[in-house]
A and B are shown apart, each in its own frame.
Chain A
């Protein structure tokens, strides 16, 4: 009788342990599934945010009072950059990038051409965050002005500075560049702006 009772109790505990084991297995599965779903959702959200930030930065760059084409007290010209102001802000223009030019690897911080926005990057970071803004003239002569470039970097244990971003979202927008010094009437040039947002 005693032996039979012992066996029953043992069976009961084993049963309960088995049920709990299965329950926790199911909970663990649920958690793994939830974590995976969250990971994907977060990634998607980050991509959306990066695209939105790239667009916002482009808009801010297009409507900078520092560079916009003004007409006295009248409304400014949309999507137009004053070439005198642009060259004043970025005295060193660069030759255009050829499509075959490989992207520079960031083993050391990039040497930036002197630019008003780069010199005051502490202030302009609030506007442009981590991004690279370049105005490119296509016609009549190819030319480019990189006004701002700030990449997220980190130091390796051996003291090297390496990039600390994984995604880059480029945005393009066509612009005109107004040259008031070309003659008696302003000359308009054709180009575009590239804004690359880093994340």
Chain B
């Protein structure tokens, strides 16, 4: 191929045109959806935070097993037996041990219609339904409650962030499974007289099953009291 004099300039022009064309494409795509880049960074932030949470949780379980080990060494000493028993009792009440026993399992799910309906919020399970049912269970003296394996303790939150339900600040996905340990009849009666029946009448796919052995996991988070402390004797 012989080099003609037009080769150089037209190649340069083609090169510049290619660069300009691609820049234009990029600008246009960005113009179509300026939120995409922002959403991407937000998703990244959430993902890293969740990863950090998981790491911290595993660290906490590690430390807890270490504490457990120290406790078991100390129980051999005489006189510490009542303290150990008291500690175990408090742990059970604070939800820091997995528990099992008879109880009920309630399953809530979104309606199939929610996918196609113009106003899907009428066919979705909202955080308030879970909150009401948990409240009914508490009123019926449930001794341990969990939602999708998140233990409900005294500091637990049940709330929504956008379209996601959070329990103990971790995200839940449908179907929602609420487990409760307690008296079968009492729990079922309390649940059936409240929010559960409303959902049932609204033709949500819900179910309530009695079970003789239910396992409920321990609370993975921590209790931190920064402001509250026990009042000193005689102050009041």
Q: Do A and B bind each other?
A: no
| Chain A interface residues toward B at CB < 8 A | none
Q: Chain B interface (Cβ within 8 Å of chain A)?
A: none
